[in-house]
């Protein structure tokens, strides 16, 4: 398993949510947003929602692209399989209501 690329930035979870999406797939998904409220992270292949319990504290978003899926950390409390496709190769990290925090 090899790390192909990585990117990190700080973001403020506006309305307790940070989004990650392909630059051309910015339309929201209400079902995925609702699922993120229950399971912390959810998506629809082009758009991820990451839910925070605290709205006003910066979080660090780290995106890593691996050649094969890594094993979950041993101390993880749970696991949900998600995927994110990017036709443009550009991902946007968006702070809901506040605008983009970064782009990779």
Q: Which residues on adjacent β-strands are paired with residue 95?
A: 18, 99
Strand 91-95 vs strand 99-103: parallel, antiparallel, or unpaired? Answer: antiparallel
Find where tokens 């990117």 sit: 7
Distance CA 10, CA 7 (A): 11
pLDDT in tens, 50-69: 999 887 788 999 988 889 98
Distance CA 10, CA 53 (A): 16
pLDDT in tens, 3-37: 999 999 999 998 899 999 999 887 788 898 889 98
Distance CA 76, CA 29 (A): 27
Q: Are 42 and 82 within 8 A, CB to CB?
A: yes
Q: What is the pLDDT of residue 104?
A: 67
pTM for the whole thing? 0.83
Q: Which two tokens stand for residue 14?
A: 């506006």
Q: Are 61 and 101 within 8 A, CB to CB?
A: yes
Q: What is the pLDDT of residue 92?
A: 92
């Amino acid at each position: 398993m090899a790390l192909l690329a990585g990117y990190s930035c700080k973001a403020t979870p506006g309305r307790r949510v940070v989004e990650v999406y392909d630059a051309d797939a910015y339309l929201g998904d209400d079902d995925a947003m609702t699922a993120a409220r229950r399971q912390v992270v959810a998506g629809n292949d082009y758009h991820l929602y990451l839910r925070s319990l605290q709205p006003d504290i910066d979080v660090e978003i780290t995106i890593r692209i691996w050649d094969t899926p890594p094993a979950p950390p041993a101390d993880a409390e749970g696991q949900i399989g998600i995927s994110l496709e990017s036709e443009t190769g550009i991902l946007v990290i968006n702070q809901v209501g506040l605008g983009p925090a970064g782009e990779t």
